[in-house]
Amino acid sequence: MSKVVKFGGSSLADAAQFQKVGEIIRGDEERRYVVPSAPGRRFPKDTKVTDMLYACYGEAEKGGDFLPKLDQIRTRYQEIIEGLKLQISLDKEFAEMEEQFRKGAGSDYAASRGEYLNGIVMAAYLGYEFVDAAEVIRFKDNGEFDPQETNTLLAKRLKGCSHAVIPGFYGTTKEGKVKTFSRGGSDITGSLVAKAVKADVYENWTDVSGVLIADPRIIDNPKGIETITYRELRELSYMGFTVLHEDAIFPVRQEGIPINIRNTNSPEENGTWIVGSTCQKSKYVITGIAGKKGFCAINIEKDMMNSEIGFGRKVLQAFEENGISFEHMPSGIDTLTVFVHQDEFMHKEQKVVAGLHRLADPDSIDIESDLALIAVVGRGMRATRGTAGRIFSALAHNNVNVRMIDQGSSELNIIIGVADEDFETAIKAIYDIFVITRI
Ligand code: ASP
C-alpha cells in the first residue's frame, strides 16, 4: 500500500506547520511519497513565497537591485530550517538562483524555486530521498505538458525508491528549461505521482476540512461533504467551487485512485473523499450548491422556429463568430435563450445582435442582464422524488423569482437562473431546505 501526500503552502508556511506535517507523515507508514508546495501565508496579510519569487525576479529583469528581496526569501527558509533544528544550508542553492536570475532564466524558473527549496528542506526533515521534479515532470518544447513522458519517467525513477519527496508545481523541457503549471499546480504534481506509483490514495492536505456543501461566504459554517464523485465535483468547480486545481483530477481519475482532501490543522477529521463512483448515499440528497453572478440572457423569438432546420446552429454561429462561448441554451417552441458571461458579451453585444439578424432573421431579440446561475448538484437526485419541487417551493417562499430552469440530462444537477440580487437569498433557501430543516 502506498499513499501520495501533497501539502499546500499554508500547511508548510513555517516550522510549526512543518512539524504538524511531519507528525501526519510519520503517523502512517504508507505515506511514502510527499509533494510539497512552497511556503504559503503565515497570517492573512503575509506574502506567499511564490509571489515573493515572482516579485524578486521582476526586479532582476528590470535590472534593479533584487538582492534585498532574495534575502527576504532566504530568511523565510532559514527560519524553517532553524525552527526544525536541521543541519542543512541552502547557500549553494541561493548562489545558483542569484546567478540564474542575473542570466534571465525566466519567471517560471524563479517561481519553481519555492517548491524546489521546500522539497530539499522537507526531504532532510523526513529523511526521505529528494527527487527533483526537473528529472521527472516533462514539458514539450512548445511549453505543453507531456503526460506520457512524465508518467514513464516518474514510474521508472520512483520504482526503486521507497520514500521520496518530489517538489510540486514545475518540471522541465528535454533541454532542461524549467516550466511551471498554472498557479496551484502542485495539486497536479501530486496527482501525477499518485498515478505513476499506482497509489491507493492521493491525500491532498490543505487548511480546510474538505469540501463544503456551499460557499462559507454565503452560508455560516456550512456542513462538509463526506464523499463526492469526480463528475459532481466537476459540475460544482465549473460553477465556482475552488478545491483542487482542475487538471489534478484527470490523472488519478484515469487510474481510479480516490482523492482525500484533509486538513493539516485538524488531522483527526476524515475530510472529503473524491471518488469515481460510489454507492455511499450523500447525507442530504444534494451534494453541493454553487453559483456565479454576472450572466446575460439573450432571448430570441421567431414564429415557427421549431420547424426551421438549422436555426439553433445559425444562432450559435453569431456567438462563435465573436469568440463567445455560451453557458446554457433553454428553449421553447418559438423562443430560444442563450446564456453568456456578461463581461465577455458586453463589449460585443451589438455585433452579436447584428450577426443574429443576419444569420437567423429572428422576429425579436431581447437582452436581460445581471442574472446569476445556481447549480444544485447531487447524485442522489436521480433516485429522489420531489427534489425540483422542494427547490422551487423554497425559492418561492423566499420571494425569489426563477428566470430559468435547466436540468442536465444526467439528472446530476439542476441549474437555476435568478436575478443577481437574489443570488445569496436563493442559495440560503436551497441550503436551508435540504441541509437544515430537511422538509
Ligand atoms: N506555489 C504555487 C502557487 O502558489 C503552486 C502551488 O502552491 O500549488 O501557486
Instruction: Answer with the one of 244, 275, 306 that is the final residue of a domain.
Output: 275
- Let me know whether 247 and 311 are in one domain: no
Whether residue 238 is predicted with pLDDT greater than 90 in this model: the reply is no
Tell me, what's the pLDDT at 438?
Answer: 76
- Let me know whether 82 and 220 are in one domain: yes
Q: Any idea what the CATH number is for the domain that residue 360 is in? A: 3.30.2130.10
Asked whether 159 lines ligand 1 (CB < 6 A), one says no
Number of domains in the chain: 2
| Backbone φ and ψ of 3, nearest 5° | -120, 140
pLDDT tens-digit map of 115-158: 999 999 999 999 999 999 999 999 999 999 999 999 999 999 99
- Residue 175 near residue 113, CB atoms below 8 Å: no
| 67 pLDDT tier (thresholds 50, 70, 90) | very high
pLDDT tens-digit map of 176-196: 999 999 999 999 999 999 999
- pTM for the model stands at 0.87
Asked whether residue 229 is domain-assigned, the answer is: yes
Q: Please count the CA atoms within 13 angstroms of the CA of 426 that sit on its side-chain side.
A: 26
Measured by CA distance, the residue closest to atom 8 of ligand 1 is 184
Residue reference for cell 464523485: 229
Asked whether 48 lines ligand 1 (CB < 6 A), one says yes
Asked whether 50 lines ligand 1 (CB < 6 A), one says yes
- Let me know whether 267 and 301 are in one domain: no
Whether residue 408 is predicted with pLDDT greater than 80 in this model: the reply is no
Tell me how far apart the alpha carbons of residues 369 and 68 are, in angstroms, rounded to a whole number: 49
Asked whether residue 335 is domain-assigned, the answer is: yes
Closest ligand 1 atom to Cα of 185: 8
Centre of ligand 1 from the C-alpha of residue 200, in Å: 24
- Let me know whether 363 and 252 are in one domain: no
Closest ligand 1 atom to Cα of 183: 9
Asked whether 114 lines ligand 1 (CB < 6 A), one says yes
Tell me, what's the pLDDT at 139?
Answer: 98
Tell me how far apart the alpha carbons of residues 247 and 184 are, in angstroms, rounded to a whole number: 10
Asked whether residue 283 is domain-assigned, the answer is: no
Tell me, what's the pLDDT at 152?
Answer: 98
Instruction: Answer with the one of 275, 300, 317 that is the final residue of a domain.
Output: 275
- Let me know whether 425 and 319 are in one domain: yes
Asked whether residue 106 is domain-assigned, the answer is: yes
Tell me how far apart the alpha carbons of residues 185 and 178 are, in angstroms, rounded to a whole number: 14
Asked whether residue 357 is domain-assigned, the answer is: yes
Centre of ligand 1 from the C-alpha of residue 38, in Å: 6
Residue reference for cell 473524491: 274
Centre of ligand 1 from the C-alpha of residue 51, in Å: 9
Asked whether 168 lines ligand 1 (CB < 6 A), one says yes
- Let me know whether 271 and 323 are in one domain: no
| Structural domain range at position 389 | 288-436
What lies within 8 Å, CB to CB, of 204 at 6+ separation is: 6, 8, 187, 190, 244, 248, 259, 260, 261, 262
Asked whether 272 lines ligand 1 (CB < 6 A), one says no
**Other beta carbons within 10 Å of 417:** 24
Tell me, what's the pLDDT at 282?
Answer: 76
Centre of ligand 1 from the C-alpha of residue 37, in Å: 6
Q: Any idea what the CATH number is for the domain that residue 148 is in? A: 3.40.1160.10
pLDDT above 90 covers what percent of the chain?
84
- Let me know whether 325 and 210 are in one domain: no
- Let me know whether 58 and 115 are in one domain: yes
- Let me know whether 304 and 173 are in one domain: no
Tell me, what's the pLDDT at 119?
Answer: 98
Instruction: Answer with the one of 221, 249, 275 that is the final residue of a domain.
Output: 275
| Backbone φ and ψ of 324, nearest 5° | -110, 130
Using alpha carbons, select from 86, 92, 97 the residue that is nearest to residue 121: 86
**Residue 214 amino acid letter:** A
Asked whether residue 157 is domain-assigned, the answer is: yes
- Let me know whether 135 and 260 are in one domain: yes
Asked whether residue 326 is domain-assigned, the answer is: yes
**Other beta carbons within 10 Å of 123:** 21
Residue reference for cell 525566466: 106
pLDDT tens-digit map of 269-289: 999 999 988 887 778 889 999
Comparison of pLDDT for 412 and 171, the residue scoring more: 171
Using alpha carbons, select from 31, 38, 40 the residue that is nearest to residue 202: 31
Torsion of the alpha carbons at 3, 10, 226 and 382, rounded to the nearest 10: -110
Measured by CA distance, the residue closest to atom 6 of ligand 1 is 184
Asked whether residue 281 is domain-assigned, the answer is: no
- Let me know whether 314 and 358 are in one domain: yes
- Let me know whether 251 and 297 are in one domain: no
Centre of ligand 1 from the C-alpha of residue 35, in Å: 12
